[in-house]
Structure 1
């Protein structure tokens, strides 16, 4: 199992932002992700910086840590411009980028550009075009495409990604259409659990739901002749009924991670603590989990 973290882009680079990414590398996390939003929930009226510039700055001050979004969505992104930014980020980082990508939701991103929020079906329709087109844009020197929602006219992406044939996709999906995209285009799959269980569900129900999601992912892979074991399976914590339990103590983390490892989860992602927020946690416990958690799990 791998252990990764999320660093929300809520600090000025000169006021602790840079130091967080350096600490993530020194603590030995596999990947440090950030959210790709224009603003987010309880941080709506607070500092919030852009994901790609933040990751580019992080790439310039780190050397081993993988970097990524968790997740990027079509809500305010276009595949052509996003591809150019990602190829640049992959180059600056020396090939250390993973793109977490999902269909998005009805948050602030969905209306900031002046559009009406998409229905779930419209989100799935956009996502169904977005992922295959982005796959091509990151893999081919020149792409032309005329679709229902997106177009590209001789979009040039030379020299392409450092990682070949392109940087990896971690596809967030639980529905049948999204799981098919993960099976066909993903190098990893992302879940936050079952959102219907967040408020009133139990940890046991959550485990059962995630096991069911993994089973459906396996069926989607089997349908196209792919081995589901080829995909990493990433759990972003903080959105299951356990909420903050994984960061309560080292023992709590080991218990939580072990239960999900048995299901087939191969990467656990914990949020770097942010005081006075939904992600408040003890910094010492966070560092202890980073340095000892996987060893305790293996033991």
Structure 2
């Protein structure tokens, strides 16, 4: 009799502990999810802002766990938080493409990781997608020579931008269409990044498409103010451009939609992979990292073009996936 009463008396304590555990996990997930609304250069928050997809996964698991534990009243706050997160994540799984449209322009962007990317794999991807424009960041002279040997200068007749020895700052735009250089994008006081960000006009059958290569500095602990300034500079540049002409920004933004600065830079523009309904896109990190790829920091952003298809491909020798997008002119 006494043992039975003792066991019964233990149940409320365990049930309360279960409630507390569920609510603490919920609070942690909500705080991480809410970080996307905090515009800061504090590195821990900047990192937390990349964890949005994990919040959705965590809330799903928490909802299942609460149900298995029969903590029925906790299902309401957990379900509400999950619903709110799905409002943000849900649209990324819905495609807004025109697959039947004629492809006039295909853009590919690749961070070479200090020139280490496999040039043969990169050019294979270029040929597979019949790419018209290739934006390459972290290009060194040796990498440029390897790309030429792999057929880049045969496939692309035009190029703007220069490689840089022993640095991550070199950028080049290759193109099958004629290019007009607007700026080499090599003034750090303007670009707010040490990397070159050339701006060109791509003559696509008589239509001028304005394209800017992008390589914002990585938001490591001491560089987050410079990282944020680079995103602000891109947002300012985008706002200055005429809305009547097609516009493309392509490259390594070192940020994603969890960062307020990136959302400002992307305001009024469409992210190709997001518009393609690819959901949780992961372009980094792929090479030699202890964690699998989990965040999209490489983008093709556009305005004034019709998206036909988009995607990404892993290339050996670099921690960034190649991103590509095919467009039709309006």
TM-score, normalized by the shorter chain, greater than 0.5: no
Q: Give the TM-score category using the shorter length.
A: 0.3 to 0.5
Q: Which has the higher contact order (CA 8 A, sep 6+)?
A: 2
- Would you tell me which structure has more strand in proportion to its own residues? 2
TM-score normalised to structure 2 length: 0.34
